[in-house]
Chains A and B, each alone.
Chain A
């Protein structure tokens, strides 16, 4: 328990540092983002929002850096991340709240599927070396070696243009109103097939290779030989002795990849114009939408930290050697 609290304290400290850096970066940047924005929205910004922009970017010359810092924290706790310019006048928090579920659903599901599928194939390929599954390895490695955007574009060219089986872009049929109705959900699923399958294909090979190699390594451990000598059922030896130990590196890899669900999907969402957070970030970067970028970075940072914490805790549960006594 003491260990868990120590980890928690460590992550709180890291989160504080990350947020502080997030606060400082716009204030250290050369140039003046507010001026460039004023130029873009000539006459459309009220003096009140100009003042708030200046406060956000640290351009409020009347206040000290410390006061700005405390203000920033106060607005963070209110869930106020400023106003987006690209989607003006929607607050950044709302933009993120709208796009995050799409990303979480698409990339979360595909990450989980590729992890489970890849690890499963890896377990069998490593256990029965020389079976037909080994023939699959070069294929998956080849696919994962293809740059993702190219794979996505090829998928669109083949399955959306040449044979229009799937939609080429978007997250749902624009004629539908987002709701939890059957028509909308099935439309969203339909739109998710092409990006989902390409993500699974390109991400799976890593899991397969990692798991297979660990299985091969662990299979030659003495305790696996002991388990065989004990006359345990094959399944028990394979899962409880070999795979149980071999999966440890994959599990921490998986927990870390959860952190990148939020941020690491820029390419997928760009290629498929998917309404997720990566696409929003892409738009924000194009439009020099600083509050939006800052907000997205904050969410990504927190997600990575949370995933790291999860990886630590998972590892602690799975590997008793990492637990501290007492």
Chain B
């Protein structure tokens, strides 16, 4: 990463002033209904601003992917959205509520406005169709007036955009390497020039060299095409390099949200601190790795109060009793308001939480 915007050491552009493109408010998701229901997302508030890279980090089961699927209404049963709203702000016109869309509206919205690069490139492409078919059918569905030649032309263009020779258009997925498949998926995600691209652990299945190559390509594409990115991963050191803002999730809640550099310098939530110190930093001075004791909470039996308190080294009296809410905090180091918020009693003991 050579650009300064993606380096953790220099200050990132303050993205809190940009207009929002996606506003998530009080979003809750259950798996199952009735007594057996498990709450995977609790009142999640999150704002994605135009042109920024928002990182979502957390352990397995923290609700990162559930959040991404809920926003695009792709949750498959038994996942149910039980509350909240998701507002999409188009470049022109009034914001629309994604959760209230009719199936037709939803189909038009998907990929045109929000596209997704899924976890596991190996299975994201249909093995029986060529790359061409899978790149062009999305154009056919959303751009019915495009001719066959135009669609093929666009598909060739997209492949070269991600650094794949356009003559691989006729190839089947099994004839491509894992890295190429993931790049085809990225090309596909950009086919309609969407406003938002959700990347759900896009590089997890790839080796480190390929990860960096693909991320570098993503950074370049994002600068060229100016879309917003929701980047989901458990690899927080990757996020710190790559994103403008980071939201840390634990047990279905956002526990801390701040600029990437702020989180790196001064994580406020003990969980963020633990997460940061369980990965080696890619740049900067060496630090001791500590990790987080214990294992992620069981969603069927969440601890009372703050879900993290049984594993928290700094837990004190209110933590087991009351649930802290995400609330803005001012940075101690800088004097500006960075739009940072934390859900932890350590940071604010004046606030009251639910019992």
Contact = CB atoms under 8 A, between A and B. Distances in A.
Q: Is the interface of A mostly helix, strand, loop or mixed?
A: helix
A244 B124 CA distance: 15
A321 B175 CA distance: 9
Contacts of A320: 127-128, 130, 172, 174
Given A229-B115, A231-B110, A233-B141, 14 more contacts: A222-B120, A223-B123, A229-B74, A230-B141, A230-B188, A231-B107, A231-B138, A232-B138, A240-B129, A244-B126, A245-B127, A318-B128, A320-B127, A320-B130
Interface string B182-210: 00010010000000000000000000000
A229 B126 contact: no
B118 interface: yes
Nearest to B109: A231
Given A231-B141, A232-B138, A241 B110 contact: no
Contacts of B1: none
Contacts of B118: 222, 225-226, 229
Interface string B136-149: 01100110000000
A240 B127 CA distance: 12
B54 to A, nearest CB: 19
B120 A230 contact: no
Contacts of A236: 137, 141
A240 B137 contact: yes
Nearest to A323: B172
A229 B110 CA distance: 6
Contacts of A240: 129, 137
Contact of B123 (A222, A241, A244, A321): A222
Nearest to A129: B77
Interface string B100-111: 000100111111
Contacts of A140: none
Contacts of A230: 110-111, 115, 137-138, 141, 188
B127 A233 contact: no
B125 A229 contact: no
A30 B119 CA distance: 67
B76 interface: yes
A227 interface: yes
Nearest to A233: B141
B112 interface: yes
A233 B137 CA distance: 10
B21 interface: no
B116 interface: yes
Contacts of B72: 229
B123 A231 contact: no
Contacts, number: 81
Interface residues of B, number: 33
29 contacts: A222-B118, A222-B120, A223-B123, A223-B126, A223-B127, A225-B118, A226-B116, A229-B118, A230-B110, A230-B111, A230-B141, A231-B106, A231-B107, A231-B111, A231-B142, A232-B141, A234-B103, A240-B129, A244-B128, A245-B127, A245-B128, A248-B128, A318-B128, A319-B127, A320-B127, A320-B130, A320-B174, A321-B128, A321-B172
A321 B108 CA distance: 32
Interface size class of A (residues with CB under 8 A): 20 to 34
A220 B123 contact: no
A225 B124 CA distance: 8
A229 B127 contact: no
* Most-contacted residue by chain A among B76, B109, B126, B141 (CB, 10 A): B126
Query: 10 closest A-B pairs (Cβ-Cβ)?
Result: A231-B110, A222-B123, A223-B126, A320-B172, A231-B107, A231-B111, A230-B138, A230-B111, A232-B141, A229-B116
Contacts of B175: 325
Contacts of B130: 320
A321 B127 contact: yes
Contacts of B138: 230-232
A321 B116 CA distance: 26
Contacts of A222: 118-120, 123-124
A223 B141 contact: no
Contacts of A228: 74, 110
A279 to B, nearest CB: 41
A236 B108 CA distance: 14
A71 interface: no
A226 B120 CA distance: 11
B38 to A, nearest CB: 19
A32 interface: no
Interface string A228-268: 11111110100011001100100000000000000000000
A223 B174 contact: no
A233 B107 contact: yes
Given A241-B126, A318-B128, A321-B174, A225 B108 contact: no
